[in-house]
Amino acid sequence: MNAGIIGIGRSLPEKIVTNFDLEKIMDTSDEWIRTRTGIEERRIADDQTDTSDMAYEAAVKAIENANISAEEIDLILVATVTPDQPFPSVACMLQEKLGAKKAAAMDISAACAGFMYGMVTAKQFIETGTYKYVLVVGAEKLSKVVNWEDRNTAVLFGDGAGAAVMGPVSEGRGILSFELGADGTGGKHLYQDEYVIMNGREVFKFAVRQMGESSINVLEKAGLSKEDVDFLIPHQANIRIMESARQRFELPEEKMSKTVRKYGNTSAASIPISIVEEVEAGKIKDDDLIVMVGFGGGLTWGAIAMRWGL
Ligand code: UT7
């Protein structure tokens, strides 16, 4: 039995904050942000909206898109580093809001690689026949943990959520291979004290190396080569990091998701938000081979090679 994505949805706050808006509140410029990161604007949630609200909206859409009911979900996994509170988990809050009565529920803390960790965890339950449907959500309200006086980090992040219902798909479809990893010795380069603290240059070096290695590794594990890749969804942190992964695959520009421009870095939500965007734009089609690769605080990383479709 193969595990794949059978329904998707996302939620993005309405409020758009452009680089020009940030110029007015801190010592930065649209030019610096665009050329160093690729970001042009990001979405910021209002005071009434927390991580669980965005997670819920994305989840409702994904469940509808999967054509199942919430009561059929066996497990809810929410990847987040910005839960509403330490506990109960966002996953438990979702379980209540959705009325997913039989679902077990827990959050996953693997920062920007969280959605990859969630999908791979779901795969284990589905492929062993233990569970049929697993709801995997990446949801973040990073704006509440960003120091708006620190230009090194404040310009990078955005809020949002993306969700996928995972379930059994036909042979040859779904997750073909994966790689997860962690290096706790690098934890000091990206962490939250009161606010997010980051050594940008160190994270940059790690990200370029790891994204390249992990994405090639999953292809090898699946017995495929870079010529087989139809679409690349890297974690949307910085266009320069993403470009290095794309060049390694020798993929044309239009075959890589670049939602970072509009949404900034939404941590665990960036990959599922991109999946929805690219499927809706017709860029990911039935039978396409897609490679997803994330990295983040921990340090953590994860990559998945997946054949799209049911
Ligand atoms: O989800 C995972 C999370 N994180 C990442 O993926 C981040 C990875 N790292 C990066 O994306 C990049 O390192 C950054 C975008 C954070 C920074 O780009 P950089 O090219 O590595 O710049 P830098 O840190 O070397 O800083 C260059 C200069 C510094 O000035 P000095 O010291 O050279 O005078 C900074 O103070 O740019 C300055 N700077 C800014 N200037 C205008 C830093 N932030 C800003 C800003 N506006 N927002």
pLDDT in tens, 122-150: 999 999 999 999 999 999 999 999 999 99
Helix (H, G, I), strand (E, B) or coil at 308: coil
Predicted local confidence at residue 156, as pLDDT = 97
pLDDT at 33 over 90: yes
pLDDT at 287 over 90: yes
269 lines ligand 1 (CB under 6 A): no
112 assigned to active site: yes
Determine the distance separating the centroid of ligand 1 and the alpha carbon of 200, expressed in angstroms: 6
Question: Of these residues, 19, 112, 189, 238, which one is catalytic?
Answer: 112
Structural domains of the chain ordered from first start:
2-169 (3.40.47.10), 174-307 (3.40.47.10)
Note the pLDDT tens digit of each residue in 200-235: 999 999 999 999 999 999 999 999 999 999 999 999
Q: Which atom of ligand 1 is nearest to the CA of 238?
A: 11
Predicted local confidence at residue 248, as pLDDT = 87
Compute the mean pLDDT over every residue in the chain, rounded to the nearest whole number.
97
> What mean pLDDT do residues 239-244 have?
95
Q: Which atom of ligand 1 is nearest to the CA of 237?
A: 6
> What mean pLDDT do residues 159-181 have?
97
Give the least confident one: 64-73, 97-106, 221-230, 243-252.
Answer: 243-252
Question: Of these residues, 65, 189, 235, 238, which one is catalytic?
Answer: 235
265 lines ligand 1 (CB under 6 A): yes
Determine the distance separating the centroid of ligand 1 and the alpha carbon of 170, expressed in angstroms: 45
264 lines ligand 1 (CB under 6 A): no
Q: Which atom of ligand 1 is nearest to the CA of 37?
A: 15
On whether the pTM is more than 0.85, the answer is yes
The count of C-alpha atoms lying within 13 angstroms of the C-alpha of 201, restricted to the half-sphere facing its C-beta, is: 0
Tell me the three-class secondary structure of 60-99, residue by residue: HHHHHHHCCCHHHCCEEEEECCCCCCCCCCHHHHHHHHHC
pLDDT at 249 over 90: no
Determine the distance separating the centroid of ligand 1 and the alpha carbon of 203, expressed in angstroms: 11
Q: Could you tell me how far CA 169 lies from the centroid of its own chain?
A: 21
235 assigned to active site: yes
67 assigned to active site: no
CA-nearest residue, atom 35 of ligand 1: 152
Tally Cβ neighbours within 10 Å of residue 67: 9
Note the pLDDT tens digit of each residue in 81-120: 999 999 999 999 999 999 999 999 999 999 999 999 999 9
**Residues 6+ positions from 48 with CB-CB distance below 8 Å:** none
CA-nearest residue, atom 17 of ligand 1: 200
Residue of 275, 262, 45, 16 lying closest to 160 (CA atoms)? 45
Predicted local confidence at residue 179, as pLDDT = 98
Predicted local confidence at residue 166, as pLDDT = 98
Q: Under a CB-based contact definition with an 8 Å cutoff, are residues 306 and 4 in contact?
A: yes
State the DSSP H helix or E strand holding residue 183, giving kind and residue range, or none if neither.
none
Q: Could you tell me how far CA 258 lies from the centroid of its own chain?
A: 13
Residue among 29, 32, 36 whose CB has most ligand 1 atoms within 8 A, to mutate: 36
Please state, in angstroms and rounded to a whole number, the distance separating the CA atoms of residues 108 and 140: 12
210 lines ligand 1 (CB under 6 A): no
Does 88 sit behind a cis peptide bond, omega within 30 degrees of 0 on the bond before it?
A: yes
Strands 134-141 and 75-79: parallel
